[in-house]
């Protein structure tokens, strides 16, 4: 009969194993050091051990597993999960699940909450962004009315995949998120909004910039939306191209994260963004027995 256990790992060594054996650059950092640092945000990292041999590892924080991986040459993903669950019977949430593990975890009574992927694109000073007639571009900074921004974002996302999955946030929650993003991107703010000159209202907006904490000085898009009555006028394409050109003096790459199933993914691909590995968040009912 096999003996299963988990053992706390030394964080730096664990990070090397995770980056090598996860075999997926989920965040698309394209950099060994950045990926190591992304893994080393906690010391709650553990080896998964079967009969005295390490077969994998994971970050385990209370009822949540993050960044699970198998250690070669071990390759039986079902046994890996069975081993982990036999040692940790209170796991409710699993973050950063790769595609090959989704069906396995569903057999253990976990449900798929959401599938996400990071998308990246080179910045380029030669990109031409042509603003459609009747609209004007404005810098989105601390001076812009937060209530107007929050209302525009809520209207722009209504009926979309993210609100369907996560629920519609309140106006106050959106305002707090806008404030958080503008603080993050304050060192190099690239945020903008498009104003419809005839209707005298916001038609679309993009909150973006370069945080001092983002590895490799990549630019990042935190929010982008076009209000329903202004869609199919190439406003989203314009904002993406504008960001690509504007960010070039400061960053080699612009990145964003999209929920799989969001219709905006087609726009991002059209603008030159390439997707990284898909990763899922899964969970189970607290009362279920594994």
- Is domain 4-104 in CATH 3.40.630, yes or no? yes
* Separation of alpha carbons 287 and 92, rounded Å: 10
pLDDT at 287: 52
CB atoms within 10 A of CB 92: 15
User: Would you say the CATH fold of 120-275 matches that of 4-104?
Assistant: yes
Burial class of residue 219, CB neighbours in 10 A (0-12, 13-18, 19+): buried
Query: Are the C-beta atoms of 240 and 268 separated by less than 8 Å?
Result: yes
pLDDT, averaged per 10 consecutive residues of the chain (290 residues), comes to 90 97 93 93 96 96 96 96 93 95 96 96 93 96 92 91 87 96 95 97 98 92 96 96 96 96 92 96 75
Half-sphere exposure of 94 (CA within 13 A, CB side): 30
Q: Which CATH superfamily is domain 120-275 in?
A: Gcn5-related N-acetyltransferase (GNAT) (3.40.630.30)
Half-sphere exposure of 263 (CA within 13 A, CB side): 11
pLDDT at 166: 84
Which residues, 6+ apart, have CB-to-CB distance to 103 below 8 Å? none
> Would you kindly state where each structural domain of the chain is located, as residue ranges?
4-104, 120-275
Query: Are the C-beta atoms of 174 and 150 separated by less than 8 Å?
Result: yes
Q: What angle do CA 251, 253, 255 make, to 5 degrees?
A: 120
Query: Are the C-beta atoms of 178 and 149 separated by less than 8 Å?
Result: yes
DSSP label at 228? G
E-assigned strand segments in 51-123: 53-61, 64-70, 93-98, 111-122
pLDDT at 289: 56
Q: Is the dihedral of CA 224, 257, 237, 242 positive or negative?
A: positive
* Separation of alpha carbons 113 and 257, rounded Å: 16
């Amino acid at each position: 009969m096999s003996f299963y256990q988990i053992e706390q790992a030394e964080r730096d060594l664990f990070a090397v194993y995770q980056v090598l054996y996860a075999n997926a650059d989920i965040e698309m950092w394209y950099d060994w050091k950045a990926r190591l640092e992304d893994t080393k945000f906690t010391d709650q990292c553990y080896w998964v051990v079967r009969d005295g041999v390490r077969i994998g590892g994971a970050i385990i924080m209370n009822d949540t597993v993050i960044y699970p991986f198998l250690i070669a040459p071990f390759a039986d993903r079902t046994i890996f999960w069975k081993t982990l669950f036999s040692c940790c019977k209170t796991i409710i949430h699993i973050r950063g699940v790769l595609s090959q593990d989704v069906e396995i975890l569903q057999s253990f009574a976990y449900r798929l909450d959401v599938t996400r992927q990071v998308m990246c694109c080179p910045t380029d000073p030669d990109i031409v962004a042509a603003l459609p007639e009747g609209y004007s571009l404005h810098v989105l900074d601390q001076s812009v009315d937060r209530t107007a921004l929050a209302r525009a974002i809520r209207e722009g996302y209504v009926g979309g995949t993210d609100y369907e999955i996560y629920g519609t946030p309140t106006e106050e929650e959106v305002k707090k998120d806008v404030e958080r993003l503008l603080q993050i991107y304050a060192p190099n703010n690239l945020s903008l909004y498009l104003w419809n000159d005839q209707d005298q209202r916001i038609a679309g907006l993009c909150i973006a910039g370069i945080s001092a904490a983002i590895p490799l000085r990549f630019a990042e898009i935190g929010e982008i939306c076009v209000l329903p009555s202004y869609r199919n006028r190439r406003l989203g394409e314009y904002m993406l191209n504008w960001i690509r050109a504007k960010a070039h003096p400061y960053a080699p790459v612009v990145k964003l994260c999209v929920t799989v199933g969001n219709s905006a993914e087609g726009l991002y691909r059209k603008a030159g963004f390439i997707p990284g590995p898909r990763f899922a968040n899964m969970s189970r009912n607290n009362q279920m027995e594994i």
